[in-house]
Amino acid sequence: MRISVIGCGYLGAVHAACMAKLGHEVVGIDIDESKVLALSSAEAPFYEPGLEDLLREVQSTGRLTFTTDMSAASNSQVHFVCVGTPQKKGENGADLTFVDASMTALLPYLSAGDVVVGKSTVPVGTAARVSEWVEQRQPSAHLVWNPEFLREGHAVSDTLHPDRLVYGVSDGSEDHPAVAILDKVYSAPLTSGTPRLVTDLPTAELVKAAANSFLATKISFINAMAEVCEAAGADVTQLADAIGMDDRIGRKFLNAGIGFGGGCLPKDIRAFMARAGELGADQALTFLREVDAINMRRRTRVVELARDLCDGSRLGKRITVLGAAFKPESDDVRDSPALSIAAQLQLQGAVVTVTDPKALANAARRFPELHYEADTARAVQNADALLLLTEWQEYRDLDPYETAVAVSSLRVLDGRNVLDSSKWRAAGWSYRGLGRP
């Protein structure tokens, strides 16, 4: 099929490459010329495992091109809208500027029977509003809301092998003409057994908000348990293992630590609360305020623990922060708890060095005042304390005996509970985990 993908960020660039991999002819459209230039030469403008290899592979087939020119969409029958919906400045709600601008720019190029597919995470009600624009412009075109559930760091495989597909259509019916067209787009994953659900537009929008809210709640739940474990002298990692064995609960997303960050979970729960308030259903989501508060408390807690670890004072202490990205296998530092903790420590007088395998350039743009060191061995040199804040494999694999030779004091704070505490303690380290004795 001929497909356009509008917005080539973390979501759209991957989606465009994966659609081409599935055999479609794809044009990726973005207003950012440097992004288009990079993608056109098969370079990913951000780090995502497997993406550059995939770009090279599909571009050699001639099925994938990139442009800044929206008129290129006129050759396509299906148009995926993959632009960002960041948090509004100074407010909880989502900023829909990019969705509205890209939809408006696309409208003149729609032909009869085209399908516009929204993938961005939007407040419920957005799809109904945009579908009116589409209908007014091209009465036989359709708007579908098809939320995306990919995780950064696994984006390519999540897109090629999604665990479910949700199509929101105006009448919520399997017989809606857009359903058959989307089935053709996704024929490969559907053939290999991916379940797909057809819903109405608001349900599809809410599925995404609800899924991310549930994940955020699960993380904050275990972090709340970590607080109680700390007070009671219990171990939250064992607690998570034990409750996770109940398959109604499940062990995934029960890793206590410095909390969630990134470009999705934090802003999505806030936008969801804001939207529920507009709809008069704010009481239903007040618990998300607590989820957010528990999450933000983790950051403060680590700053306090770092002080305790450094004998009561951060002033002049050389602290090395291992990890800047909001999660491993990503260079994304949007709302990264690791980076936010590093910046707070620096403000409180510590001398902070931050290291990360991929995210240093983005981190330096966000917090230019911090000191960055790409080489782990150099970053830990003479440190008074190590803080493991993003669980890259390289940091999980650090050898406590070898590392002991490089640092000034044997102190480590494991913000993700991924180090073997007994091994580090046996090597002479003063070890602190979160929610662990």
Among all residues, which ones are annotated catalytic? 264
End-to-end CA distance of the chain: 57
Q: Which residue do the tokens 């939207």 mark?
A: 275
Secondary structure (3-state) at 233: coil
Q: Binding string, 90-129, against ligand UGA, x = CB under 6 A? A: -------------------------------x--------
Residue whose CB is less far from ligand UGA, 310 or 322 = 322
Applying CB under 6 A, the span of 32-40, 79-87, 112-120, 145-153 interacting with ligand UGA comes to 145-153
Residue 151 binds ligand UGA, judged by CB under 6 A: yes
Residue 12 binding ligand UGA, by CB under 6 A: no
Out of 13, 54, 127, 215, name the contact with ligand UGA by CB under 6 A.
215
User: Helices marked H in 41-75 — which ranges?
Assistant: 51-59
> Would you say 138 or 212 has its CB closer to ligand UGA?
212
In whole angstroms, give the CA distance from residue 39 to residue 370: 30
Q: Quick one: 19 or 407, whose CB is closer to ligand UGA?
A: 19
**30 vs 148, beta carbon nearer ligand UGA:** 148
Look up residue 144 and give its two tokens.
């579908």
Rounded to whole angstroms, the Cα distance separating 408 from 391 reads 23
Q: Which is nearer to ligand UGA, 27 or 254 (CB)?
A: 254
User: What CA–CA distance (Å, rounded) separates 115 from 173?
Assistant: 16
Could you give the residue ranges of the DSSP H alpha helices within 233-285? 236-244, 265-278
CB of 421 to ligand UGA, least distance (A): 18
Q: What is the C-alpha separation between 232 and 235, in angstroms, rounded?
A: 9
Among 14, 143, 219, 239, binds ligand UGA (CB under 6 A): 219
Q: Give CA angle at 290 (284, 292), nearest 5°.
A: 110
Dihedral (Cα; 209, 214, 219, 223), 10-degree rounding: 110
DSSP reduced 3-state for 353: strand
Window contacting ligand UGA (CB under 6 A); options: 42-50, 70-78, 150-158, 184-192 = 150-158
Contacts of ligand UGA in 278-317 (CB under 6 A): none
Q: How far is the CB of 221 from ligand UGA (least distance, A)?
A: 10
Among 30, 48, 152, 331, binds ligand UGA (CB under 6 A): 152
127: left (phi over 0), alpha (psi -120 to 50) or beta: alpha
What is the DSSP-derived secondary structure letter of residue 109? G
Instruction: State the binding string over 244-283 for ligand UGA (x if CB under 6 A, else -).
Output: ---------xxx-x-xxxx-xx--x---------------
Determine the Cα–Cα distance for residues 158 and 325; give it in Å rounded to an integer. Answer: 20
* Shorter beta-carbon distance to ligand UGA: residue 143 or 215: 215
What's the CA gap between 407 and 383, in Å, rounded? 5
Q: Hey, how many other C-beta atoms are within 10 angstroms of the C-beta on 55? A: 25
Find the part of the chain contacting ligand UGA (CB under 6 A) among 33-41, 110-118, 148-156, 311-319: 148-156
Task: Enumerate the β-bridge partners of residue 430.
Answer: 411
CB of 212 to ligand UGA, least distance (A): 5
| Token pair 């479910």: residue | 164
What minimum distance in Å lies between the beta carbon of 2 and ligand UGA? 26
Q: Which residues, numbered 66-95, are part of the site for ligand UGA (CB under 6 A)?
A: none
> How many whole angstroms separate alpha carbon 205 and alpha carbon 203?
5
Question: Which two three-digit tokens encode residue 186?
Answer: 């996704």
Decide if residue 205 touches ligand UGA (CB under 6 A): no
Is the Cβ of residue 133 or residue 287 nearer to ligand UGA in the bound state?
287
Contact characters 325-354, ligand UGA, x per CB under 6 A: -xx---------------------------
Half-sphere CA count of 5, side-chain side, radius 13 A? 29
Residues 6+ apart with CB under 8 A from 315: 348, 349, 350
Q: How far is the CB of 112 from ligand UGA (least distance, A)?
A: 32
> Minimum CB separation from ligand UGA for residue 89, in Å?
20
Based on CB atoms, which residue is closest to ligand UGA, 42 or 256? 256
Binding region for ligand UGA (CB under 6 A): 121, 148-152, 212, 215, 219, 253-255, 257, 259-262, 264-265, 268, 326-327
